[in-house]
Amino acid sequence: MPLKIYNWLTRKKETFKPLMEGRTGLYVCEPTFYNHTHSGHAKAYLPFDILHRYLEHTGYKVRYVRNIIDVGELTEETGNGEDKIISKVRLEQLKPMEIVEIYSRSFFQDMNNLNILPADISPRASAYIPEQIELAQILIKKGHAYESKGSVFFKSKRVA
């Protein structure tokens, strides 16, 4: 029986077809590391862990990437808030990367304690800021996103 996965773009279940025979990738965002892990994190990563294990069990070579969000998540959904890591810096009197290190280590230990497989690669968002800016500019130019008050937002009706 073929693996079927819900495609949020088409809004239907579709048969899984890897881009390369026998190989596939999973890309998942990790939390922003400004506080300790909670049960919601486990709930978010458990389905991907199950999918990862299933794909490997059925013979796929899987490259699993979970990025580390170490900058830029705001405290308010409106985009007017303060960066959550900077807020924690002020509270704990530490440097931003100290905050990220403390809470990312806590996260990785918690996931390990739950027997959730680690990612193969965990790139830091801050290392890719120029690429993120370039992508945002491309999305804006193509009409898929717009800028407002220094933030970039998707035009959701254009995505579907």
Is the per-residue pLDDT at 105 higher than 60?
yes
- The domains of the chain, with CATH numbers, are 4-123 (3.40.50.620), 129-160 (no CATH)
Counting every residue written for the chain, the total comes to 160
Average of pLDDT values for 18-22?
Answer: 94
Residue 136: per-residue pLDDT: 92
Whether residue 145 contacts residue 136, with contact meaning beta carbons closer than 8 Å, is answered with yes
Percent of the chain with pLDDT over 70: 91
- Both tokens of 78, joined, read 């409106």
Is the per-residue pLDDT at 79 higher than 80?
no
73, burial (CB in 10 Å: exposed 0-12, middle 13-18, buried 19+): middle
Percent of the chain with pLDDT over 90: 50
Cβ contacts of residue 134 below 8 Å, gap of 6+? none
SS3 20: strand
- Both tokens of 23, joined, read 């190989």
